[in-house]
C-alpha cells in the first residue's frame, strides 16, 4: 500500500482548502492501494512558531496590508531574497524538528505540499538524503513568489500558463512545471450533483 502525505500550513485558508480538495479527490477515488494523510505542518512545529506564524500572518493581512505587501514584494526581489534565505533556513530548521521526526517515522511514498514552509523543510531533507519520497508542490497563488522555489521539488503544479512562464523565468525547469489550476473542492465545479446544472 502506498502512503501519500498531503501537507499544508494553517496560515490563511487557501493553502488548507487546496490541500483538502486534493485529499477529497483521493478519498473519492476509493483506491484501496493508497492510504492518504492530510496534515498541518505547523502541528509538528514548535508551539511558539505555530502560534506566531498564524497570528502574525493574520494580523498583517487584516490590519497592516500595506506592510504585508511591502515585505511580500521585498522578499520576492532576488537580492533581498538571497540575503534573507540563510535566516529563513535557520528559523525553519530550529522549529521543524517535530516535522522531521514525523516524516521519518511515517516514511511516505509521495508528498504533496500546498505551502512553501513544508516544501522548504522537505526539500532540505531530500537534499541531505534523509528523505527520498517524490515531492510535488502545489502553488496556491497566481503569481509565483521566490519562497515557493526549492531545489529538490520533483514537480510543481501551477494555476496558469503565465504562472508557469514566470516560474521558468526565475530558474525552475519547465519540465518540472505542470499547469493544473488551483485545486478546489468539487462542490465549486459547475454541473456537479451538489450544485446542480
* Domain contains 9: yes
Distance CA 163, CA 52 (A): 30
Where in the sequence is the domain holding 46, given as residue range(s)?
2-188
* φ, ψ at 125 (rounded to 5°): -65, -40
* Domain contains 124: yes
* Domain contains 193: no
Contacts with 1 (C-beta within 8 Å, 6 or more apart), sequence order:
32, 33, 34, 35
Query: What is the model's pLDDT at position 11?
Result: 82
Looking at the chain, list the stretches that DSSP marks H as alpha helix, in order from N- to C-terminal side.
14-29, 47-63, 65-74, 78-95, 97-106, 116-127, 161-169
* Domain contains 197: no
Smallest CA-to-CA distance from 187 within 14, 20, 7, 12 is with 20
Q: Tell me the CA distances in angstroms from 73 to 61, 87, 149, one per residue in order.
A: 14, 18, 15
* Block mean pLDDT (10 aa), the chain, length 197: 95 88 92 94 95 89 92 93 95 97 98 97 97 96 91 96 94 95 73 42
CATH classification at residue 172 = 3.40.50
Helix (H) or strand (E) holding 8: strand 2-8
Distance CA 164, CA 146 (A): 13
Query: What is the model's pLDDT at position 188?
Result: 61
* Domain contains 10: yes
Query: What is the model's pLDDT at position 196?
Result: 39
* Domain contains 195: no
The count of structural domains within the chain is 1
* Domain contains 114: yes
* Domain contains 94: yes
Distance CA 37, CA 94 (A): 25
Tell me the HSE value of 37 on the side-chain side, using a 13 A CA sphere. Answer: 17
**What pTM did the predictor assign?**
0.90
Query: What is the model's pLDDT at position 195?
Result: 41
Q: Which residue has the cell 446542480?
A: 196
Q: Which residue has the cell 490563511?
A: 12
Contacts with 138 (C-beta within 8 Å, 6 or more apart), sequence order:
18, 19, 22, 112, 113, 114, 156, 157, 180, 182, 183
Contacts with 68 (C-beta within 8 Å, 6 or more apart), sequence order:
60, 61
Amino acid at each position: 500500500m502506498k502512503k501519500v502525505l498531503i501537507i499544508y500550513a494553517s496560515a490563511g485558508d487557501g493553502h488548507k482548502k487546496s490541500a483538502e480538495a486534493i485529499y477529497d479527490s483521493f478519498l473519492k477515488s476509493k483506491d484501496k492501494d493508497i492510504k492518504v494523510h492530510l496534515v498541518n505542518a505547523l502541528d509538528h512545529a514548535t508551539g511558539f512558531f505555530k502560534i506566531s506564524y498564524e497570528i502574525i500572518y493574520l494580523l498583517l493581512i487584516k490590519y497592516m496590508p500595506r506592510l504585508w505587501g511591502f515585505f511580500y514584494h521585498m522578499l520576492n526581489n532576488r537580492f533581498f531574497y538571497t540575503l534573507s534565505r540563510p535566516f529563513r533556513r535557520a528559523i525553519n530548521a530550529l522549529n521543524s524538528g517535530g516535522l522531521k521526526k514525523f516524516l521519518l517515522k511515517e516514511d511516505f511514498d509521495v508528498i504533496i505540499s500546498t505551502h512553501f514552509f513544508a516544501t522548504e523543510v522537505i526539500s532540505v531533507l531530500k537534499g541531505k538524503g534523509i528523505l527520498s519520497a517524490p515531492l510535488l508542490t502545489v502553488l496556491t497563488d497566481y503569481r509565483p513568489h521566490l519562497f515557493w522555489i526549492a531545489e529538490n521539488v520533483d514537480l510543481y503544479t501551477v494555476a496558469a500558463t503565465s504562472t508557469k512562464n514566470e516560474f521558468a523565468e526565475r530558474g525552475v525547469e519547465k519540465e518540472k512545471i505542470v499547469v493544473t489550476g488551483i485545486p478546489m473542492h468539487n462542490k465549486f465545479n459547475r454541473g456537479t450533483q451538489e450544485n446542480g446544472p
